[in-house]
Amino acid sequence: MLKYLYIVLLCFISFNIPVNSQAPDKKKGKFLFSLGMGIEYSSTPSYTEYLRNELALSSRDSIKTFSTGIEFFGSFEYGFTNTISGKIDYSYYLRSNNYTISYYVFDYTIKSHQPYAMVFYNSINKNFSFKIGAGAGYHFQVLENNISSINTLTYTSSGPALKGEVIFAPKFSPMLETYISGFFFGTTTTPLKDGNGNVLKSTTGEEVKLGSFGVGARLGLSFYLN
C-alpha cells in the first residue's frame, strides 16, 4: 500500500510545482489536518513469551522478539504561536502473525486504537517545516486468535502510552505539505481479558499483556485550514 501513497504524493508534487513557484510564503491558517500511513517495529515481551510457551517447539523459531505492523493515522494540529503547536493524533494499528501446527492454522491479530495529545516545537520557513514533540495517550487493544477459521477467541486490554516524534514536512504550496516522520513509543496495558472477564494466562500461569515499545515511520500529507 505504500507504493500507492507515493503515487499520490508524486501527483500532488506535479500539480503544485507551478503554484508553489508563484505563491508567497504565507501560512494561510493555524489549523493543520494530516493523514497517511506508517510502519511500527515493536516488541511486546509478555505476549511474545506467551506465544513461545503456547506453540509447538517447531514453530518457536519463527516467533521474533520484534515484529512489524502497519498503522493508518489522522491528526488535527493547532498553532498557538509561530513555534509552539498542539496536536490531537489518532492511529489504527494492525499486526497479524500466522503459525501452522499439524492441521491447524493459528492466526493471531492485534488491533489497536491509539489516540495521543502532543505538543510540538516548530521551525518553519518557505520551503519546509521541521517539528519535534512528545505527548501521552491511552490505547485500546484487541487480540483475536483465529484457529483454522473454526473458532475465534477475542481478548481486550487498554493502557497509557508515551510518544516522541520528529516531523519533516517539505512544502508543496502555502496550503499543502508532505508529512514525513520518525517516532518512538512505549505502552503499558492491563492484562488481556475475554468477554466474561477471564484473564488470559500462559502455561506458566503468568498474565498476558500487550505492553510494548518500539520505533516507527510515517508518510502522509498535511493541509492548512483557514
Q: Is the CB of residue 154 less than 8 Å from the CB of residue 142?
A: yes
Dihedral of the alpha carbons of 107, 108, 113, 116, in degrees to the nearest 10: -140
Query: 17 or 208: which carries more pLDDT confidence?
Result: 208
pLDDT of 200 > 80? The answer is: yes
Paired residues of 173 in beta bridges: 176
Confidence category of residue 174, pLDDT binned at 50, 70, 90: confident
pLDDT of residue 171: 92
Query: 147 or 42: which carries more pLDDT confidence?
Result: 42
Three-state SS at 200 = coil
Query: 85 or 24: which carries more pLDDT confidence?
Result: 85
H or E, element range at 161: strand 151-173
Confidence category of residue 61, pLDDT binned at 50, 70, 90: low
Confidence category of residue 102, pLDDT binned at 50, 70, 90: low
pLDDT of residue 59: 57
Confidence category of residue 140, pLDDT binned at 50, 70, 90: very high
pLDDT of 142 > 70? The answer is: yes
Dihedral of the alpha carbons of 219, 95, 65, 91, in degrees to the nearest 10: 50
Percent of the chain with pLDDT over 90: 59
pLDDT of 212 > 50? The answer is: yes
pLDDT of 65 > 90? The answer is: no
- Domains along the chain with CATH numbers: 2-225 (2.40.160.20)
The mean per-residue pLDDT over the stretch 11-23 comes to 40
pLDDT of residue 114: 97
pLDDT of residue 72: 98
pLDDT of residue 29: 45
The C-alpha atoms of residue 73 and residue 90 are separated, in whole angstroms, by 6
pLDDT of residue 4: 43
